[in-house]
Amino acid sequence: MLDIDFIVANPGAVKAAIEAKQVDLDLDALLALHEEVKVLVGEVEELRHERNVLSKQTGSASADERGDLIERSRAVGTRIKELETPLREKQETLQLLLLRVPNIPGADEPVGPDEESNVELRRVGDVPMFSFAARDHVDLLEMHDWADIGRAGKIAGSRSYALKGDLLLLEMALWRFALDFTQQRDFTLISMPAMAREAAFVGTGHFPHGQEDVYRLGEDDLYLSGTAEVGLNSLHSEEILSVADLPVRYAGFSPCFRREAGAAGRDVRGLLRVHQFFKVEQYVACAADKDESARWFDMLLANGEAIVSALELPYRVIRLSTGDMGAGKVRTWDIECWIPSQEQYRETHSVSEYYDWQARRTDLRYRDAEGKVRHMFTLNNTALATPRILVPLLENHQQADGTVRVPEALRAYVGGRETLSSPS
RNA sequence: GGAGGGGUGGCAGAGCGGACGAAUGCAACGGUCUUGAAAACCGUCGUGCGCGCAAGCGUACCGGGGGUUCGAAUCCCUCCCCCUCCGCCA
């Protein structure tokens, strides 16, 4: 959500953002409604004042004055009620419109309608050149009995999986690796509820758009989060933190659920795009300062790069275009790891910067050095998500005999083993 | 799932239909005193919205929403959260 005063003062910039982000929203209608609400609020408050004065007099009035005062006060009350209903409706409508106003994309980000306009920033690491017939990750899983995807599908449908044996241990090793990594960089480790109320999803900006990609637990008015960000972002809602408490830094661990409603038929093979996964998510809420926010963005990105580098995965960094980055974001850069079987890079990390867009929706505030209450700036990035990361990990580190080399940084987490192979 | 008890300012805790945006204590902040600190004393000390250069004024908020009333922190309804006991359970 943008500051309404900012919208009023900069309608041109907001309209440009609406276009760049491809949002369906009539800003002029929003501004007109805002004006209407303002006038109506003024009228209602004036009437309330009148009623308050009369009521106050009633309390200390003599018996013969009382009747008259009550009568006049009652008349004012009736007029208030007549205005309150339409006012409430207009305020609710305005609020819904405000929730749909996108953030202003950063001036340096590529402008374009979709991923075609994304810009590659850099490539790091050498793509492996196999001297043998390389297997894709599903073949490797089957070869070593590391997963049962077929039977998992019988239980829960497509995009389900069941990791087995050493691969389950490897998955857990990756979680532990990511938790240690983030903790060493002063993130507070925290597990997050996988389910949350609607308000939390509105807070991050996942709602009101994007409802179709979220599992709904209708009986209980809860939804399954697709990322720990949903919970993390609401952790300090409705509080006013001290500037000394900032930045707030969490590494949130949680199971994640996505319906993948918009991806029908895409990436159905294997572990790349599944309904249920696990993620360690980096989350930062810092003071309302664009330079500081930019520094945290760099840091979150650097952490992501350090993690894939430690896993010895070739990757690239891309800047998402305005049409691809999501309504709430100032900018989003992705880290994509090389998938040999697909001969392309695929997203494993996504860094996002919001300024105060999420904080206004979530009511995340702090008192600055001058004592002024301000909204925080929020950012997030993946630290590590499994099982997706297993895809590049297995495929890039496979050897001619089908065994998989364990990258140095991970060995401490798998009992010192240098390779993974079939159970004997 | 059943029975009961609670949610008031940063914290503790009064208030239970009008003079209550809310006593009191603690914490915090500013000041006096002091070589410095502590103590003591004086003062300040919630948020949103509207108007205003500002001081300030108005309005709303005592878990959320709705209602009764001339008037609600106080009464009613409903939802949420916390606590205790019973049941079930990893």
ipTM of this complex: 0.88
| A59 CA, B68 C1': Å apart | 18
Residue of A347, A405, A411, A417 marked catalytic: A347
pLDDT of residue A249: 96
- At how many degrees (to 10) do helices A290-310 and A165-184 cross? 140
Angle (CA) A318-A320-A321 rounded to 5° is 135
3-state class (DSSP) for residue A383: strand
Look up tokens 């997963």; give the residue: A147
β-pairing, A276-286 vs A240-242, is unpaired
Strand B neighbours (CB under 7 Å) are: A 4-5, 38, 41-42, 45-46, 48-49, 51-56, 58-59, 69-70, 73-74, 77, 88, 240, 365, 367, 373
* Ramachandran quadrant class, A319 (left: phi over 0; alpha: psi -120 to 50; beta: rest): beta
Which pLDDT score, from 0 to 100, does residue A220 have?
Answer: 85
Distance A255 CA to B73 C1' (A): 42
Nucleotides of B under 7 A from a protein CB: 10, 18-19, 46-51, 58-60, 66, 70-71
pLDDT of residue A244: 86
Q: Is A350 a catalytic residue?
A: yes
Res A162: pLDDT? 97
pLDDT tens per residue across all 424 residues of chain A: 999 999 999 999 999 999 999 999 999 999 999 999 999 999 999 999 999 999 988 877 777 778 888 889 999 999 999 999 899 999 999 999 999 999 999 999 999 999 999 999 999 999 999 999 999 999 999 999 999 999 999 999 999 999 999 999 999 999 999 999 999 999 999 999 999 999 999 999 999 877 889 999 888 889 999 999 999 999 999 999 988 889 999 999 999 999 998 888 889 999 999 999 999 999 999 999 999 999 999 999 999 999 999 999 999 999 999 999 999 999 999 999 999 999 999 999 999 999 999 999 999 999 888 888 999 999 999 999 999 999 999 999 999 999 999 999 999 999 999 999 987 6
Please say if A411 is a catalytic residue. Answer: no
Of A350, A360, A365, A395, the catalytic one is A350
- pLDDT, residue A62, reads 73
Q: Which nucleotide does the CA of A38 lie closest to, via C1'?
A: B50
How far is residue A105's CA from residue A329's CA, in Å, rounded to a whole number?
A: 7
Write the DSSP assignment of A171-224 as a string of letters.
Answer: HHHHHHHHHHHHHHTTPEEEE--SEE-HHHHHHHT-SSTTGGGS-EEGGGTEEE
Choosing from A51, A135, A249, A258, the catalytic residue is A258
Cα–Cα distance measured from residue A410 to residue A67, given in angstroms and rounded to the nearest whole number: 83
Q: Which nucleotide is nearest to A76 (CA to C1')?
A: B70
- A200, exposed or middle or buried, with CB in 10 Å at 0-12, 13-18, 19+? buried
Structural domains in chain A, sorted by start? 4-98 (1.10.287.40), 115-420 (3.30.930.10)
Q: How far apart are CA A225 and CA A234, in angstroms?
A: 12
Identified catalytic residue from A197, A273, A295, A316? A273
Nearest nucleotide (CA of A47 to C1'): B59
In the block, tokens 């090389």 appear at: A338
